[in-house]
Chain A
Amino acid sequence: EAGVTQSPTHLIKTRGQQATLRCSPISGHTSVYWYQQALGLGLQFLLWYDEGEERNRGNFPPRFSGRQFPNYSSELNVNALELEDSALYLCASSFVAQKPNYGYTFGSGTRLTVV
């Protein structure tokens, strides 16, 4: 069974540009979560999508947005990139009816560098 896949692995953008990050959840998982991990810091919650709808949002400006497609894959968009947006962006997936003791499955992340 394929795990959570994220693309691209690395992304280099110029300040002011837009970045698009993609995530494919494990087959059967309906929830997708996005986290930002700046260098040396913990994971900051960005967005949670389930069944195509945004369920919760972290404390990030509106230029961080996303969506979930009918096949449950998800896209994170970051507009008007700033240098401090440079970070590892991690996606995780889960299934709504699974037992709560099942930890989320994370992808390997997209390393975004803003220059």
Chain B
Amino acid sequence: AQKITQTQPGMFVQEKEAVTLDCTYDTSDPSYGLFWYKQPSSGEMIFLIYQGSYDQQNATEGRYSLNFQKARKSANLVISASQLGDSAMYFCAMREAKGYGGSQGNLIFGKGTKLSVKP
């Protein structure tokens, strides 16, 4: 069963506008972590933001924020004031609690969304 679903294969956004990238997940574990990564065309994976399942507030990191709706099992990434350098693939990932109190375990990735920022 697919655990991370990203329904938008591609998105376009005008420079300086905000954009939301969708991510839904599936897990029966009450303890889990949600991550967003950016992958430019060069291939490296860049960590953007993290949300823990018990976190009371939505995570924010600069222009990135995570709209966490636990009951809906969604963890959408919001990028404010888009820049041309934001053009990349974006991956949502989840880690379920496995050993070491949940701080470890492999990430499961969605198929990604390709974001293109237009000047």
- A interface residues with partner B (beta carbon < 8 Å): 31, 33, 35, 41-45, 48, 50, 55-56, 58, 88, 90, 92, 94, 96-109, 111
Contact = CB atoms under 8 A, between A and B. Distances in A.
Contacts of A35: 109
Contact of A42 (B35, B100, B110): B110
Nearest to B49: A103
Given A42-B110, A92-B107, A97-B103, 15 more contacts: A35-B109, A42-B111, A43-B45, A43-B109, A45-B107, A92-B45, A94-B104, A97-B100, A98-B103, A100-B33, A100-B50, A101-B50, A101-B52, A106-B45, A109-B44
A64 to B, nearest CB: 14
B108 interface: yes
Contact of B102 (A42, A100, A106): A100
Contacts, number: 71
B91 to A, nearest CB: 6
A33 to B, nearest CB: 6
B106 interface: yes
The interface size bin for chain B is 20 to 34
Interface in B73-106: 91, 93, 95, 98-100, 102-106
Nearest to A42: B111
Contacts of B37: 103, 106
Interface of B: 33, 35, 37, 42-45, 47-48, 50, 52, 91, 93, 95, 98-100, 102-112
Contacts of B105: 48, 56
B11 to A, nearest CB: 16
Contact of B44 (A31, A41, A106): A106
9 contacts: A42-B91, A42-B112, A44-B109, A48-B106, A55-B99, A96-B103, A97-B100, A100-B95, A103-B35
